[in-house]
Copies of this chain bind each other. A is one copy, B any other.
Amino acid sequence: MSFPSNDHDHRSCVASALGAAEAECRRRGARLTDIRRRVLELIWTSHAPVGAYALLEQLGRGAAPPTIYRALDFLLAHGLIHRIETQNAYVGCSHPGQPHAGLFLLCRQCGAVAELAEAATTRAIEQEAAALGFQVDSLTVEAHGLCPGCRGGASP
């Protein structure tokens, strides 16, 4: 929902994301296989978006591109990750299960990302669109700038 503090317990951060993913997959009758689980874990290694080929390297031992892209497709389809269009990269979803338009704040300095799920902005855009007769099905919002930590002068 907001930017993670620099000293937060990231281990529990990852654990809770994986737990939520398991639950969501059970709920949906989807199989969170070993590969998919490992990819999701790798994505959650940091709070910054990760590229497909970076994940591929970390996956190790002769994994080929289709392996990673299939896992990403699965995770995207089930709302467990988002694709950051302006970076060709992927980030874990902070609100799995609850439908929402991803709205991202991307720090240009430290790379951190925060995902908002406020409906206000979404509604504002939908209304502006509706005024022109346009029906919005999906929405991509990516704001680039400086996160609180990187603005403060102190390095994040």
Whether the pair B3, A132 counts as a contact (CB closer than 8 A) is: yes
Copies of this chain per assembly: 2
Whether the pair A151, B125 counts as a contact (CB closer than 8 A) is: no
Taking the complex as formed, is A137 at the interface, i.e. its CB lies under 8 A from any CB of chain B? yes
Whether the pair B132, A2 counts as a contact (CB closer than 8 A) is: yes
Whether the pair A105, B86 counts as a contact (CB closer than 8 A) is: no
Chain B residue at smallest Cβ distance from A139:
B143
Whether the pair B135, A146 counts as a contact (CB closer than 8 A) is: yes
Which residues of A from 118 to 146 have beta carbons under 8 Å from B? 118, 120-121, 124-126, 128-129, 132-146
Closest 8 CB pairs of A and B: A133-B148, A85-B85, A137-B145, A136-B145, A140-B142, A136-B143, A135-B145, A105-B134
